C-alpha cells in the first residue's frame, strides 16, 4: 500500500510539473515567443529571389522543426552560390529553424564541404548567429567575431577569405555596419561617463547604408533608428561640467536622456518588431540600451534626485529588458519544470518496475526442467525450449546414445507424478558439449511444458545475476542463484555451487530467458573456492538451426555433428 502511495505521489508531481510547463509555454507563445515576420512598412517584401522559405517563426532555444535533408541541401547551395549574402542567410535560417537548428546546418556543412574560404567565414559567423536567447553571450560572441574579421583584414594571408569578406560587406552593408556599431556602442557603455557624450557624437556622424530587401532592409531600418537614437543622446547627455551651478542642468540632462531612451523604445518600429528583437543584432541592441540605462540611472541616483521623479522612467527599463529577462526566465522555467516532470515520472516508473515488474519465477521455470536417464545409468538435466518440444542438454549427459529416458512434469496435472518418455537425440556436438533431443511423437501427450525462451548471441555479462536450475547429486528441481565472475571464450564462470547432475540445466537471466547451459563445476580444496561453469546458449542454437534446415527432424536422429 505504501509503495502504491509513493508511486502515485511521484506521478502526481510529474503531472503537475508538466501541466505548469505547458501553461508557461502557452503563455510564452501568446506573448511573443514566436511571431510571424511582418515588415512594419507597406511595400517592403522579403527577398523573393532566394529559393528558400521566407522568414517564418522565431525561436532561439530549440529548432521550430527538425532540420531536414532539404534544409541541408538548401543551406549548402546558398553558402556555395550566394556566399556574399552569408549574413542574411544566417539570419533567415536562424529565424526559420532556430539557433540550435542553424548550428546543426552549419556543422553539417563544415564537415561535408572542403571550400576553405567559405568554411572559415561561416565558422566565424556561426559563433554569433548560433547564440540562443538567455545564453547571455551575444556580446562576447560579437567581440570574437569582429576580432577574427579584423585579423583576416590585417593579415591578408589567406586571399580567399579576405576577398570573400569584402564581398559579404558589399552584399550586406547595413547588417555589417550594424554589427560594428553595436560593438562600438557596447564599448561606450563600459567607458567613463564623462566621455560617453563625445563618443556617441562621433558614432552618430557615421553614414548609414540603405536599401536592400528582406533581412538587409530590416537591418537597415534598425541601424538607421539606432543611429538616430545615438544622435539624440549625444545632444541630451551632460558633457564635462565641473561647476557646482551646473549640477541641476546635469540632472535635467540625465532625466531627458532617459526619457529619450524610453520614447525610442516605445515608438521605434524596427526595435518593436518581434522578429528583429530575436536576432543577435536585436539582442545586442537591447543589451546596449539596458547597460546604458543602468549607467544613466545610477548617475541620476547619485545626483540625489528623488526616486519618485524617476519611477516612470524606471518602468521603461523593465520594458527594455522584457525579452531578455522575462522571456529568458520563462524559457528557463519551462525547461526546469519539464525536467522535473521527467525526473518524477522516471522515478515513479523505476519504482514500479523494481517492485512490480515480472521477476524470475522459479516455480514456472522448474516446470520446464527435465530429468534425463541414459541406458548406462547416467543422470543429468535438460530443459524444454519453445521450439516444438525440443529439449536442450549437454553432449556428455546423453553421450553417444540414440535414445534416452526423460521425466517431465505434466503441467495439466501439477500434483501427479512425473511422466516418463523416450527422447531421441537429434543432434549432439562433442566440441561444444551441446545436444538437442525431442520426445518421440508417438509418446507426446497433452500437458507438456511451453518451454523456455532461449537468448541468441552471447548474453553473459560480468556481474550479471544468473539463476541455475537442475537435478544434482540425486536431488530434483534444485534452484540456486549467483553472479557471473568471468567470461572466457563464451564460457561463464559463476560463483555458485553445483554438482553432478546439474549438467545440461538452464542458466537464466532475471527475465527468465535462457542465456547459458550448465556444463561443469570446479572445486578447489585449498581455500574452499567452488565455482560453476556454463557455456553460451548460442552454441545450442547452432544445432537448432541445423534442425530447422532439415525437412524432417527424423532425418538427423542419432547423428553427431563434426
Place of cell 528623488: 306
The length of the chain is 562
Residues 6 or more apart whose CB falls under 8 angstroms from that of 189 comprise: 196, 288, 291, 292, 295
Q: What is the predicted pLDDT for the residue at 8?
A: 80
Grid coordinates given for 442: 508417438
**What are the residues facing 83 on neighbouring strands?**
none
Q: Is the Cα dihedral 325, 326, 331, 336 positive or negative? A: positive
Q: Distance (Å, rounded) from C-alpha 496 to C-alpha 502? A: 12
Q: 390-393 and 465-470 as β-strands: parallel, antiparallel, unpaired?
A: unpaired
> Phi and psi for 195 in degrees, rounded to 5?
-105, -5
Q: How far is CA 366 from CA 356, 478, 499, in A?
A: 21, 9, 18
Grid coordinates given for 440: 518421440
CATH of 362-560, one of 1.10.20.10, 3.20.20.80, 2.40.10.120, 2.40.128.20: 2.40.10.120
Extents of the domains making up the chain? 1-33+331-357, 34-171, 173-234+243-320, 362-560
Core vs surface per residue 343-366: b (16+ CB within 10 A) or e: ebbebbeeebeeeeeeebeeeebb
Per-residue pLDDT of the chain (562 residues; tens, 9 = 90+): 576 788 788 888 888 888 887 877 766 554 444 333 233 333 333 333 333 333 333 444 444 557 778 888 888 888 888 888 888 888 888 887 778 888 888 888 888 777 788 888 888 888 888 887 666 678 888 888 888 888 877 776 667 788 888 888 888 888 888 888 888 888 888 888 778 888 888 887 777 777 677 788 888 888 888 888 888 888 888 876 554 455 557 788 888 888 888 888 878 777 777 778 778 888 888 888 888 888 888 888 776 544 333 333 333 333 434 444 455 566 677 788 888 888 888 888 887 776 665 578 888 899 999 999 999 989 999 999 988 789 999 999 998 899 999 999 887 777 778 889 999 999 999 999 999 998 887 666 677 888 999 998 888 999 999 999 999 988 889 999 999 999 988 899 999 988 889 999 999 998 899 999 999 988 766 656 788 999 999 999 989 888 888 745 554 444 444 3
Rg (CA), the chain: 39
Q: How far is CA 324 from CA 168, 261, 290, in A?
A: 29, 17, 10
Quote the pTM value: 0.45
Q: What is the predicted pLDDT for the residue at 242?
A: 53
Closest CA to 421 of 401, 397, 445: 445
The enclosing H or E element of 384 equals: strand 379-385
In the Cβ-directed half-sphere of 169, how many Cα atoms lie within 13 Å?
Answer: 13
Q: What is the predicted pLDDT for the residue at 302?
A: 74
Q: SS3 for 509? A: coil
Q: SS3 for 386? A: coil
Q: Is the Cα dihedral 440, 441, 443, 448 positive or negative? A: positive
Amino acid at each position: 500500500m505504501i509503495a502504491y502511495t509513493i508511486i502515485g505521489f511521484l506521478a502526481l508531481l510529474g503531472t503537475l510539473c508538466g501541466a505548469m510547463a505547458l501553461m508557461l509555454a502557452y503563455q510564452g507563445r501568446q506573448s511573443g515567443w514566436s511571431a510571424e515576420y511582418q515588415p512594419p512598412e507597406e511595400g517592403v517584401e522579403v527577398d523573393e529571389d532566394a529559393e528558400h522559405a521566407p522568414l517564418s517563426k522565431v525561436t532561439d532555444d530549440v529548432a521550430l522543426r527538425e532540420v531536414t535533408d532539404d534544409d541541408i541541401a538548401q543551406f549548402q547551395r546558398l553558402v556555395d552560390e550566394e556566399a556574399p549574402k552569408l549574413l542574411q542567410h544566417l539570419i533567415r535560417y536562424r529565424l526559420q529553424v532556430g539557433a540550435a537548428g542553424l548550428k546543426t546546418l552549419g556543422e553539417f556543412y563544415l564537415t561535408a564541404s572542403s571550400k576553405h574560404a567559405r568554411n572559415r567565414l561561416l565558422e566565424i559567423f556561426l559563433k554569433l548567429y548560433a547564440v540562443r536567447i538567455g545564453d547571455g553571450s551575444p556580446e562576447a560572441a560579437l567581440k570574437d567575431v569582429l576580432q577574427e574579421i579584423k585579423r583576416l583584414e590585417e593579415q591578408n594571408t589567406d586571399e580567399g577569405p579576405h576577398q570573400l569578406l569584402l564581398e559579404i560587406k558589399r552584399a550586406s552593408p547595413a547588417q555589417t555596419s550594424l554589427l560594428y556599431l553595436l560593438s562600438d556602442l557596447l564599448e561606450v557603455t563600459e567607458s567613463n561617463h564623462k566621455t560617453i557624450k563625445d563618443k556617441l557624437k562621433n558614432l552618430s556622424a557615421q553614414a548609414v547604408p540603405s536599401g536592400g530587401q528582406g533581412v538587409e532592409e530590416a537591418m537597415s531600418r534598425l541601424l538607421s533608428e539606432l543611429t538616430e537614437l545615438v544622435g539624440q543622446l549625444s545632444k541630451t547627455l551632460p558633457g564635462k561640467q565641473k561647476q557646482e551651478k551646473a549640477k541641476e542642468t546635469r540632472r535635467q540632462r540625465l532625466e531627458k536622456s532617459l526619457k529619450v531612451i524610453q520614447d525610442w523604445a516605445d515608438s521605434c518600429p524596427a526595435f518593436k518588431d518581434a522578429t528583429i528583437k530575436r536576432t543577435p543584432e536585436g539582442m545586442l541592441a537591447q543589451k546596449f540600451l539596458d547597460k546604458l540605462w543602468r549607467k544613466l540611472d545610477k548617475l541620476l541616483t547619485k545626483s540625489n534626485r528623488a526616486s519618485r521623479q524617476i519611477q516612470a522612467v524606471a518602468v521603461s527599463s523593465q520594458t527594455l529588458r522584457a525579452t531578455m529577462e522575462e522571456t529568458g526566465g520563462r524559457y528557463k522555467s519551462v525547461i526546469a519544470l519539464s525536467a522535473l516532470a521527467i525526473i518524477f515520472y522516471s522515478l515513479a516508473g523505476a519504482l514500479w518496475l523494481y517492485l512490480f515488474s515480472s521477476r524470475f519465477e522459479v516455480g514456472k521455470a522448474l516446470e520446464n526442467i527435465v530429468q534425463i536417464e541414459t541406458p548406462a545409468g547416467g543422470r543429468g538435466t535438460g530443459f524444454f525450449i519453445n521450439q516444438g518440444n525440443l529439449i536442450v542438454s549437454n553432449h556428455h549427459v546423453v553421450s553417444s546414445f540414440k535414445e534416452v529416458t526423460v521425466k517431465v512434469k505434466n503441467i495439466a496435472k501439477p500434483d501427479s507424478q512425473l511422466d516418463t518418455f523416450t527422447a531421441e537425440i537429434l543432434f549432439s556436438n562433442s566440441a561444444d558439449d551441446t545436444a538437442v533431443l525431442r520426445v518421440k511423437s508417438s509418446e507426446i501427450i497433452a500437458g507438456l511444458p511451453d518451454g523456455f525462451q532461449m537468448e541468441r548471441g552471447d548474453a553473459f555479462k560480468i556481474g550479471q545475476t544468473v539463476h541455475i536450475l537442475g537435478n544434482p547429486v540425486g536431488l530434483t528441481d534444485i534452484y540456486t542463484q549467483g553472479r557471473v565472475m568471468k567470461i572466457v571464450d563464451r564460457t561463464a564462470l559463476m560463483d555458485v555451487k553445483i554438482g553432478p547432475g546439474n549438467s545440461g540445466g538452464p542458466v537464466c537471466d532475471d527475465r527468465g530467458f535462457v542465456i547459458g547451459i550448465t556444463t561443469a563445476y570446479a572445486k578447489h580444496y585449498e581455500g574452499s573456492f567452488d565455482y560453476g561453469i556454463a557455456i553460451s546458449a548460442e552454441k545450442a542454437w547452432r544445432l537448432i538451426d541445423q534442425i530447422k534446415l532439415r525437412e524432417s527432424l527424423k532425418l538427423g536422429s542419432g547423428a553427431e555433428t563434426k
